[in-house]
Amino acid sequence: MLKTTQLNFKAAYFNMQINLITGISGSGKSVALKAFEDAGYDCVDNLPVPLLESLISTLENEKSERVAVAIDARRGQSISELPLILENLRRNHEVKILFLNADTNTLIARFSETRRRHPLSVNTEKTQSATLTEAIDAERSLLEPLRSQAHGIDTSNLPAHALRLWIQDLLKDKSVGLSVIFESFGFKNGLPSEADLVFDVRCLPNPHYEKDLRPLSGKDKLVQEFLEKIPEVVSMEKDIIQFTEKWLPHYIADGRSYLTVAVGCTGGQHRSVYLVKRISEHFYARKELADLQISFLTRHRELDSIPAIAI
């Protein structure tokens, strides 16, 4: 079990909440920024990197408490200056990075649907499809230093309304400690790119093969009653809980802001949804974790998603 004495996380005082929204072009940054705006944040879109510190200085003078800034790689190598700038800002402020991502095929489809030009493809002379692919790859390379320290959301199969809801959930978290996201998913649609820990539960009996349960999900009582009677399911639930509890102190000591624990079955409809629900309920009940600046969120990628939606 998790020993609270291991979690010596002390909250610091921050003068301003700074949320940097970045990621791959076409992955939903505009939708994300709108969600922050609706939540009452001061929002700035497409800010040049060299102007970030000046903006924060101005907002300090105006006593602004919460700001969201969208920055992308369209200005090329200046993005490399951003990690050092953020390090300086963290001396006085709470700084969080939200990184939006999507797979290349989805991004190509979205650019084709909207007929937009990728911001890094302007000066290339090759065919459009090659240019777009190269521009996406170049952008991934430029933004990798930010992705590695950010909370990521993969929007490949995520509709705009679901992305807004996920961000609203993030904004409900007022702590400056560790936010743990439990996410169900289906392996048939690939691994969540933002996952830190992945548990494969495809070895468990599948309600899909029960005619009455097939159209239902792990949120439904009949599916829950079916799965909770299976010893292997109960054992898997306990193992995931024990593993997560054991390693939480180490992720906190590493200075993480977010930890995504992904549980996957074949379709992301029954087993993974049920286990994420059960695991989340266990941690929600641990009131002492809230006192230690640990909060928990729940997501169901496939239940929240529909395919081929442009963001």
Q: Residue 69's beta-bridge partner residues? A: 20, 44
Segment 5-10 mean pLDDT: 39
Give domain limits for the chain.
1-172, 177-311
136-170 pLDDT, tens digit per residue, is: 998 998 898 888 888 999 999 888 888 998 998 88
**pLDDT band at residue 204 under the 50/70/90 scheme:** very high
Q: What is the pLDDT of residues 61-88, one digit of tens each?
A: 888 889 999 998 876 667 888 889 999 9
Do residues 303 and 269 make contact, with C-beta atoms less than 8 angstroms apart? yes
Strand partners, 186: 265
Please indicate whether residue 219 or residue 295 has the higher confidence score (pLDDT): 219
Residue listed under structure tokens 């709108």:
34
Q: Which fold has domain 1-172?
A: Rossmann fold (3.40.50)
Mean pLDDT, rounded, of the chain: 85
Predicted confidence band at 257 (pLDDT cuts at 50, 70, 90)?
A: confident
Residue 115: DSSP 8-state? T
Number of H helices, E strands in the chain: 11, 9
Binning pLDDT at 50, 70 and 90, where does residue 239 land? Answer: very high
Average pLDDT over residues 210-219: 96
Residue 105 neighbours by CB under 8 Å, 6+ apart: none
pLDDT at 36: 93
Q: CB within 8 A of 14, min separation 6: which ones?
A: 92, 93, 94, 176
Give 158's DSSP letter.
-
Residue 291, helix vs strand vs coil: helix
pTM of the model as a whole = 0.68
What's the pLDDT at 311? 39
What pLDDT does 123 receive?
53
Please tell me the least confidently modeled range out of 2-11, 30-39, 297-306: 2-11
Cβ atoms of 42 and 126 within 8 Å: the answer is no
Does 189 score more than 60 pLDDT? yes
3-state SS, residue 102:
coil
229-235 average pLDDT score: 98
pLDDT band at 294 (very low <50, low <70, confident <90, very high): confident
- pLDDT tens, 11-46? 444 579 999 999 999 999 999 999 999 889 999 998
Taking 60 as the threshold, does the pLDDT of residue 55 lie above it? Answer: yes
Antiparallel, parallel or unpaired: β 197-200 and 94-101: unpaired
Distance CA 279, CA 237 (A): 7
